Amino acid sequence: MKNIDFGNNFTWGAAISASQTEGAYNSYGKGMSIWDDFSSKKWKIKNRDNNKTACDFYHNYNEDLLLAKHLNIKHFRFSISWPRLMPDGIGAINSEGIDFYNKVIDRCLELDITPWITIYHWDLPLFLEKIGGWTNREILIYFFDYVKLCATKFGDRVKHWMVLNEPMAFTGAGYFLGVHAPGRRGLSNFLPALHHAALCQSIGGRIIKEVRPDAEVGTTFSFSHIEPKSQKEKDILAAKKIDALLNRTFLEPTLGLGYPIKELPFLRKIEKYFLPRDEEKLKFQFDFIGAQVYTREIARRSPFIPYINANIVPAVKRNVDLTAMKWENYPNALYHTLKFLSTYKDIKKIYVTENGAAFPDELINGQINDTKRIEYLQKSIAGMLKAKNEGVNVQGYFLWSLLDNFEWAEGYHPRFGIIHIDYETQKRTIKQSGNWYRDFIEE
């Protein structure tokens, strides 16, 4: 397998996000985000880690972009921090935040690296959360202003945009399970957050296109390949419910298919949060869908789980090879997900906007020989090529991630990067996987 097998115009890149890498959490005019607040609370994050400094990308962006250039990465996906541009999420604009992202974008272009921007990668301004966050319908107004600001300030040089990053993850983990920021729980928080995020997803796409008609606009979803624990009817039905919840809840409304209420009857309660024309507002024809894929999940019937009567069998109980996230090491999930997406006729094209694996890397004599990550990437990319050869319109791949980073509630223990970060000294070390990716792209 060589990269030329994908064609001359295939996009190869790597990704990071603001809250996981930037640091400088309360400097240069930046406001507090929900993750700044959440990670400051005791026992919310493993090992009591926080994202105050992270990779200090704010001060090290030039070095990191030079390393990306060295690795032959020509496409760089990063996110804008909403509270760095607008400290409270509304009102005043922070000129230092605008200047920072202008410098990052301009440096990318100087190095012949194409910038791809994610508008929202989970760092909601804390002030907005205090007035309801994603459960407050006024978020539609605030998000409109924020997206318009981004498109206006940066759209003259940035031609590729993603509106939301994994909305099921930030609404489900943050507003239903409470294990991510802002730590809310229950259906009464989840349903309005879900609906408002789905509306903002399409609103954001429309705004960027209005301001920059020549822009390529997409949005990203987390996908897991779902299989039933057995071929018993009850487990097959459970798998369909889990698949609908994780993989279809945000995808299908933007395609004009509505929420998957047939498989998830509890979603009928979301009608409480509908206003006239919402069904139409949910729809938007994105230029691409971003697929973010890591693993597969095994589903089984569980009558004690409310709303769906199904749950996921933890990978640690399945006697399978595990990553540092305790996910199954299953690179073939990418192939299955791409085939799943190809069944939707209204998806124009697909980019894999995240794919990778965390392993317990060891720095020995200045080197990290992360062979398991290389093997995972090779198998994932081979599955992507197989899907492409079978007719799936996949046109790009962004490895997650360029840098080791703050992995949300898991703290700094899981390392996804192809560049190792020593969090004490901020020293960067290219891993063997980084060298492999460089050589693969150069071929």
Q: DSSP letters of 273-300?
A: G--TTHHHHT----SEEEEEEEEEEEEE
d(CA 320, CA 302): 22
Distance, C-alpha 327 to centroid of its chain: 17
Which of 185, 204, 192 is CA-nearest to residue 121?
A: 204
Catalytic one of 129, 166, 216, 297? 166
**Structure token pair of residue 223:** 């996908």
d(CA 427, CA 404): 11
Task: Detail the DSSP E strand segments found in 52-159.
Answer: 75-79, 114-120
Q: Which residues contact 401 (CB under 8 A, 6 or more apart)?
A: 14, 15, 16, 20, 354, 356, 416, 417, 418
d(CA 107, CA 343): 39
If 0-12 CB within 10 Å is exposed, 13-18 middle and 19+ buried, where does residue 186 land?
Answer: exposed
Q: Are 272 and 191 in contact (CB under 8 A)?
A: yes
**Structure token pair of residue 290:** 């971003």
d(CA 389, CA 100): 41
Q: Which residues contact 326 (CB under 8 A, 6 or more apart)?
A: 314, 315, 316
Location of structure tokens 């317990």:
360
If 0-12 CB within 10 Å is exposed, 13-18 middle and 19+ buried, where does residue 343 land?
Answer: exposed
Residue 355: strand pairing partners: 293
Is 263 catalytic? The answer is no
**In 3-state terms, what secondary structure has residue 75?**
strand
Is 227 catalytic? The answer is no
Q: Are 212 and 160 in contact (CB under 8 A)?
A: no
Rg (CA), the chain: 21
Q: Are 32 and 26 in contact (CB under 8 A)?
A: yes
**Structure token pair of residue 56:** 């200090």
d(CA 304, CA 312): 13
Q: Are 149 and 86 in contact (CB under 8 A)?
A: yes
Catalytic one of 22, 129, 216, 354? 354
Active site amino acids: 166, 354
